[in-house]
């Protein structure tokens, strides 16, 4: 029997889709239960799995599923899996039996499950996929919010949707404690003549929206380096379509991997560099660098614009990343509430007509 108490924070967890398996995710669940005494889990998966069965307790409810959406599944196969752990997780959230959902599954599979089961906020055409990217702000380690990174494509994202993404991203930033939110549109240059037609129209929509009452400051076009580095624009939110956003995201992962390789090569080049590396390691310098650039600590990506929040963890997430994602889900359950002002702002944005 499903039920939800106002005194508890209820998370629906798709426990079958992490690439490293159920065991490390089960350990992360136990840690989350220890840290947060008011959390309750709906654990969705194969109830015969011993790692899942061992999690049965007063603050966990196991919900059986007979199917798993795989990364290799075709669209037709995903649509046919109505008893998958991903689909049932989204259904629990959509039926208001949990405050937040979390899955480490196939992005398309998660997106379809959400579309079928969780209503969008009024005036939202499509829910964008937002991440917190490691960044330097005020010469200090921080993060920027980058969206969309995969919900939309290059050819199905309109100028109006880019404006919606900025409004939703601004609301998300305020939930995370950011004030005086700065929003920028990702382009190939800051000049107004740069960018695609969709971007140039979106720029005009943003400027008109500011005139009628925006909840954020619009800084105009920004470049990819503004996501990570301290620049004059210093945007808190960087908005783009999902295709372009995913390209930037994957490129950033590649640069991080290359940097790690280059540092390893440099410190192993001779006896002196090995000694320098040992000193850096012993002093905790490497741990400090890892703490600054490590995306795992930000707890997965968030689908915005939904009646209930849903978080997508990276399929290959480490155990630490799984734990961060669970904490992120808990925080979302604590902080999320229906925002009438957000819907009113989205309505104003939808009524903008360019001459």
Q: Do 269 and 189 share a structural domain?
A: yes
pLDDT tens for each residue of 97-130: 999 999 998 888 998 999 999 999 999 988 998 9
Query: What is the mean predicted confidence (pLDDT) over 288-306?
Result: 69
Q: Do 131 and 23 share a structural domain?
A: no
Query: What is the mean predicted confidence (pLDDT) over 36-40?
Result: 92
pLDDT at 191 over 90: no
Q: Do 79 and 160 share a structural domain?
A: no
pLDDT at 311 over 90: yes
pLDDT tens for each residue of 233-267: 678 899 999 888 888 887 877 777 777 777 777 77
Better-scored residue on pLDDT, 295 or 174: 174
pLDDT tens for each residue of 128-158: 989 887 776 666 666 788 988 888 877 789 9
- Identify the band that residue 299 occupies on the pLDDT scale cut at 50, 70 and 90: low
Better-scored residue on pLDDT, 323 or 268: 323
Number of domains in the chain: 2
Q: Do 136 and 52 share a structural domain?
A: no
Which residue(s) pair with 113 in the sheet?
none
* Domain membership flag for residue 12: yes
Better-scored residue on pLDDT, 276 or 321: 321
Q: Are strands 301-303 and 310-312 parallel, antiparallel or unpaired?
A: antiparallel
pLDDT at 5 over 70: no
Q: At what angle do helices 319-335 and 22-35 cross, to 10 degrees?
A: 40
- For the ranges 2-16, 33-47, 291-305, 325-339, the lowest mean pLDDT is seen at 291-305
Tokens 């140039």, residue located: 200
Q: Do 149 and 241 share a structural domain?
A: yes
pLDDT at 140: 64
For residue 215, the domain's CATH number is 3.40.718.10
* Domain membership flag for residue 133: yes
Q: Do 171 and 111 share a structural domain?
A: no
Q: Do 118 and 144 share a structural domain?
A: no
Candidates 41, 87, 11; CA nearest to 311 is 11
pLDDT at 256: 72
Q: What average pLDDT is seen over the chain?
A: 85
Better-scored residue on pLDDT, 260 or 15: 15
- Residue 258: how many other CB atoms lie within 10 Å: 10
Better-scored residue on pLDDT, 309 or 260: 309
pLDDT at 4: 44
CA 235 to chain centroid, in Å, comes to 18
pLDDT at 1 over 50: no
- Residue 108: how many other CB atoms lie within 10 Å: 15
* Domain membership flag for residue 150: yes
pLDDT tens for each residue of 276-296: 777 766 766 666 665 555 555
* Domain membership flag for residue 76: yes
- For the ranges 200-204, 217-221, 270-274, 319-323, the lowest mean pLDDT is seen at 270-274
Say what percent of the chain tops pLDDT 90: 40
* Domain membership flag for residue 228: yes
Q: Model-level pTM?
A: 0.84
pLDDT tens for each residue of 258-268: 777 777 777 78
Give the domain range for residue 16.
Answer: 1-124+305-340
pLDDT at 77 over 80: yes
- Whether the CB-CB separation of 351 and 122 falls below 8 Å is answered with no
pLDDT at 255: 74
- Residue 98: how many other CB atoms lie within 10 Å: 29
Which residue(s) pair with 134 in the sheet?
143
* Domain membership flag for residue 355: no
């Amino acid at each position: 029997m499903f039920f939800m108490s106002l005194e508890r924070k209820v998370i629906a967890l798709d426990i079958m889709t992490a690439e490293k398996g159920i065991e490390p995710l089960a350990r992360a669940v136990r840690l989350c239960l220890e840290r947060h005494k008011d959390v309750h889990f709906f654990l969705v998966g194969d109830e015969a799995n011993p790692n899942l069965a061992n999690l049965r307790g007063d603050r966990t409810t196991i919900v059986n599923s007979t199917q798993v959406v795989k990364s290799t599944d075709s669209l037709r196969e995903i649509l046919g899996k109505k008893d998958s752990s991903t689909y049932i997780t989204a259904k629990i959230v959509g039926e208001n039996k949990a405050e937040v959902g979390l899955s480490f599954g196939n992005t398309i599979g998660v997106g379809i499950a959400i579309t079928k089961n969780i209503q969008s906020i009024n005036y939202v055409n499509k829910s964008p996929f937002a991440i917190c990217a490691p960044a330097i702000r005020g010469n200090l380690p921080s993060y920027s919010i980058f969206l969309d990174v995969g919900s939309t494509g290059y050819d199905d994202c309109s100028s109006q949707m880019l404006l919606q993404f900025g409004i939703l991203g601004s609301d998300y930033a305020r939930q995370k404690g950011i004030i005086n939110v700065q929003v920028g549109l990702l382009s190939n240059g800051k000049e107004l003549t740069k960018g695609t037609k969709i971007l140039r129209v979106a720029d005009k929509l943003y400027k008109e929206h500011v005139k009628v009452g925006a909840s954020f400051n619009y800084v105009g076009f920004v470049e990819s380096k503004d996501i990570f580095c301290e620049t004059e624009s210093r945007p808190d939110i960087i908005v783009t379509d999902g295709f372009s956003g995913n390209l930037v995201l994957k490129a950033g992962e590649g640069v991080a991997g290359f940097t790690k390789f280059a540092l390893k090569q440099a410190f192993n080049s001779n006896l002196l560099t090995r000694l320098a590396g040992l000193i850096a390691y012993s002093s905790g310098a490497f741990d400090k660098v890892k703490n600054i650039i490590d995306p795992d600590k930000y707890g997965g990506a968030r689908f915005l614009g939904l009646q209930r929040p849903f978080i997508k963890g990276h399929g290959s997430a480490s155990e630490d990343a799984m734990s961060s994602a669970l904490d992120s889900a808990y925080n979302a359950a604590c902080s999320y509430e229906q925002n009438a002002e957000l819907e009113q702002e989205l309505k104003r944005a939808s009524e903008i007509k360019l001459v």
